[in-house]
A and B are shown apart, each in its own frame.
Chain A
């Protein structure tokens, strides 16, 4: 009987809990942090409110906020990994072996990359799109609200799995992309790679569904009169990015599945023997991986377009060329993926082709940067913190970008492939391009969602610490790369003379940490002082696009009546012509809340957990649970409700009364 019970537990055992001080510390951190949050919610008796207002919501603005909260928490986790790595590399020289053993260092390095890409960058991106896109195109919601909520909860389930690896079991030590044969069962027998596979598979499904959702939203739910060429540039960038999501993520799904099959049922896709081809994995994962980086950066580019135009008080220069640039990038991003493995051994014809395509894709990106600069030219620029983030982006992205064009030449890439030069390049692109863009977006659109502005001065301090810290942390890495330092090193010889540069880089991380500290402080202070910071007009930055035409915070139904659009930057045009839109009320159809998305994700988490720990009965049962939940959902004949015009009017009047109260604080 006990034998049967143990069999049910698969690979689980007491020895799978963390065994040494540092890993126990990590586990304790997560568990205590979680318990603390749960305790606070229970103490404040907010469970019902959380369930009703947040967990079961179909309002994309709330879903967006949840995405962003998860992403920012994961930023702290990924950042802690970075601090540990930098510390290790600054001290682990000669006879000193630092604070982490090799295996642990590799796990941290793998976790850092995985978390930052899949849970921070993707989370911020989907979060911001949820917040802004429907408002910008004059819609009330996304195309498929229930799907949207499900996508978020699948993302959450993936995040929960990754963090579970800190508490029980270990994480992959095979890098953020888990190349075989290292990631195969023979060389990675522990659950680590399985955690990696399943958290990404689940989050990946969520991403794919979001890609389809937002694509249909842009194509089908624009306000009447808003033709595609009248859309804000951010909406265009979302359309481009989501096209990439839809057509690239299935490749990831397949690749993860094949690796999982190799590790569970003994197939020979990527094994060293049996007819497998490990190089095929590298080929496939990058066929997804390259579009992925454009998925992340395109919406950031869209954010910059909005911010530069607003803060330069000038319409975006070269709208049409910007649209073309997006679509050329989308198309070309599918033709460059081999540049991630020039050194894998392809012949010169193949390498040359992909090298040329890589150089070519820099052109539309350059067009975009010049267009932003031309937008600024002769504008009346206000250097608020979103604009500062943009300027920081221009500096870092340009440095990183030219490093990239350098590496697009296969001969040069042979010298610097997998060195710290590469690491510096892609960090400058992702942090300088993607992260700075999403930081700028958060500051820019914060008042629209929450109704009050963030503390500007603290935001400025945060920026300056971030940019100085970031350059201090990564410029030395370019030099180290040229000096021969490879990536993922947890120890090196003293005679190499690398340590001083690693120490400088470590200092850079300290500066970034202070920057993060200022961001946290900014949030806390802003919430504390929110009454003095109220955005009463709904248009705190003198904006150009439709989202600024609704009050702050935006009501859950977005618009009392869907606007009719005749021009680009319609809101700006209205303001210039002095046209005031009359507030009209009409019946609004909205989706009802649903807890089934949470159920699906909970089941998905269990499927992942079951597969990882070889508790196949659990995985199968929970798969059945997902199917059942979907059938239950399909039986719901009335997923929507009607908010009558009278009710909307009452809500609106209540809002106006609240505004009057807030005015007293100003």
Chain B
């Protein structure tokens, strides 16, 4: 092998190692974020019964509405996957399309959730009302905050892709973003089950 090809091979291997290292590091961060949510779940589990004379989950959760939210987020997780596949094929416009769909669905989810929060707050059931509501707003709100940061990141990535194309760095960052987005949907599975479904059956 000539030194030029050798150097190029080393370059590619270095790039791949760097990517794997970054992806692994981000994965470890996601695991720590799981522990963060677990702490919030632990708090919710302990004080969700402390309604202090106020409403319980059964009183305030509207399951069909939440099901809509869930489908929006779940679909966005799927379309994010489609965006990743397009990125593997280096199909810039398809990536932008699917990311746009993902963003819209994510924004829909966020708006539905903010609407739910607004509704609760305006009828006097804010986080100040009881321990239950404090833990509800904080658990679901933290997830919503993560979604917000995800959407911000997604918007910035779309600008990057549009301006700089699908470079190695951009595709590496897209991988991280997609991991983040999938992880948020995983967390939502548990919020949906433990907060909303359990709440609606009176647990």
Contact = CB atoms under 8 A, between A and B. Distances in A.
Interface of A: 143-144, 208, 211-213, 215-216, 219-221, 246-251, 253-255, 258, 261, 265-269, 273-277, 280, 284, 287, 589, 627, 631, 634, 637
Given A246-B31, A250-B32, A269-B47, A255 B138 contact: no
Nearest to B10: A587
Contacts of A277: 46-47, 50, 131
A143 B135 CA distance: 36
B21 A143 contact: yes
B35 A261 contact: no
Nearest to B132: A275
Contacts of A253: 36
B138 A267 contact: yes
Contact of A280 (B24, B43, B52): B43
Given A251-B36, A258-B43, 18 more contacts: A143-B25, A208-B32, A216-B25, A221-B21, A246-B28, A246-B31, A254-B40, A261-B138, A265-B128, A266-B128, A267-B134, A268-B128, A268-B131, A273-B52, A274-B52, A274-B129, A275-B132, A277-B50
Interface string B102-142: 00000000000000000000000001111110110110000
A268 B43 contact: no
Contacts of A275: 47, 50-52, 130-132, 134
A216 B28 contact: yes
9 contacts: A247-B32, A247-B35, A254-B39, A269-B134, A273-B52, A275-B130, A276-B134, A280-B46, A284-B43
Interface string B6-34: 00000000100100111011001101110
Interface of A is mostly: helix
Contacts of A267: 127-128, 134, 137-138
Contacts of B131: 268-269, 274-277
B130 A274 contact: yes
Interface string B47-89: 1001110000000000000000000000000000000000000
A258 B138 CA distance: 8
B138 A216 contact: no
Contacts of B22: 144
B42 interface: yes
Interface of B: 14, 17, 20-22, 24-25, 28-29, 31-33, 35-36, 39-40, 42-43, 46-47, 50-52, 127-132, 134-135, 137-138, 152, 156, 169, 173
A261 B47 contact: no
Report, nearest first, the 4 A-B pairs whose CB atoms are least far apart: A275-B131, A275-B50, A267-B134, A275-B52
A117 to B, nearest CB: 20
A215 B25 CA distance: 8
Contacts of A274: 52, 128-131
Given A267-B134, A269-B43, A249 B50 contact: no
A218 B42 CA distance: 31
Contact of B25 (A213, A273, A280, A589): A213
A273 B53 CA distance: 12
Contacts of A144: 22, 25
A634 B137 CA distance: 32
Nearest to B29: A212
A284 B32 contact: no
Nearest to B17: A220
A219 B129 CA distance: 47
A284 to B, nearest CB: 6
A266 B138 CA distance: 12
A246 B32 contact: yes
Given A269-B135, A275-B47, A280-B46, A627 B152 contact: yes
Nearest to A274: B52
A316 B166 CA distance: 51
A266 B14 CA distance: 51
A216 B24 CA distance: 7
A248 B29 CA distance: 12
Contact of A219 (B14, B24, B35, B50): B24
A658 B131 CA distance: 67
A265 B127 contact: yes
A250 B50 contact: no
Nearest to A277: B47
Nearest to B14: A589
B33 A250 contact: yes
A21 B95 CA distance: 66
Given A261-B138, A276-B50, A284 B42 contact: yes
B169 A220 contact: no
A254 B128 contact: no
A427 to B, nearest CB: 29
